[in-house]
Amino acid sequence: MSSLHEFHYRLPARAGGFRPGAHPGRSLGPGQEFAMHMRLFDNPDPRRIDLRASLRNPRQDWLVRVYRQRVSVPVHAVVDVSASMQFGARASKLQVAADFLEGLGHSAFRAGDPVGMLAFDAAERSDLLLPARHSRGAGHAMARLLRECASAPGHAGGAQGLAQVAQRLADRQGLVFLVSDFHWDLQALDGILDLLAQAYVVPLIIWDPAETEPPPGNALLAVHDAENGRRRTLWVGRSLRVGWRAAVARRRARLDGLFLARGLRPVYIQGAFEAEALSRYFLEAVA
């Protein structure tokens, strides 16, 4: 696994849990971040006695220093494997998602976090389920499943499949990467985000440059709808190019509005996964 795919992530708030890790936690325990003083009677750990604080204490109690523990958080990737995700001029969007998952597995292992994958098209794909685990090979296993899936016939996608997957993660804390091109009806997305409200959700929107930018010049273009299988021929002229770009801008504005209303900022990936850009996203989002 190339270190170029490793990225650094962090949560915007303290995480719950007791398993040691890299993230600031809410629980008290072994750590280096000072939280408070407590009486030695209440926290009998003589190694943590603070002599200066004890001498200043008007009750003349022995005081010990108490620290906050850094913890690990469960990380899940929820991946859209519908037919539209198999489109791509140089590499399919599923291949780009697989590159991301390989980097995610490596990054989570380095951070001490368990990582897993759930997938959906028109329904939940239980054959692509990998429960969260702390393993050096988790990223490779997730990426391999997606790359094998990319060579199989795809099915139409939809919010129903995503809703089924979201039920598995409902009311769970942690970090959730929502990976899709979002080429399906967005009306149910708000309710799905309600199910994931306890987690920190990062939408990863994967688009291919061939679908966001029309071909240059006037020409006939044969198109194939990956979701419904329909084929047709379009005349690419100036008016179609203007309408094409306007439709992409409207879709992006709607996605931005849906996520920003929840305090979420989506990540747009076009053409290839760049680990450095994702690290920059977390630095800006949590700063």
pLDDT at 247 over 80: yes
For every residue of 136-169, DSSP letters joined together read: TTHHHHHHHHHHHHHTSPP----HHHHHHHHHHH
- pLDDT per residue as tens digits for the range 134-150: 999 999 999 999 999 86
Of the candidates 251, 101, 270, the one whose C-alpha atom is nearest the C-alpha of residue 184 is 251
For every residue of 111-145, DSSP letters joined together read: HT--EEEEEESSSB-GGG-EEEE--TTHHHHHHHH
Q: Is 233 exposed, middle or buried (0-12, 13-18, 19+ CB in 10 A)?
A: exposed
pLDDT for the residue 16: 76
Question: Most distant CA pair in the chain: distance in Å?
Answer: 87
For every residue of 222-263, DSSP letters joined together read: EEE-TTT--EEEEEE-HHHHHHHHHHHHHHHHHHHHHHHTTT
Q: Is the dihedral of CA 250, 251, 256, 257 positive or negative?
A: positive
Pairwise CA distance, residues 49 & 47, whole Å: 6
- What mean pLDDT do residues 258-263 have? 94
- pLDDT per residue as tens digits for the range 179-194: 999 999 999 999 999 9
Global pTM value: 0.83
- pLDDT per residue as tens digits for the range 72-87: 899 999 999 998 899 8
pLDDT for the residue 3: 47
The residue that leads in pLDDT, 17 or 145, is: 145
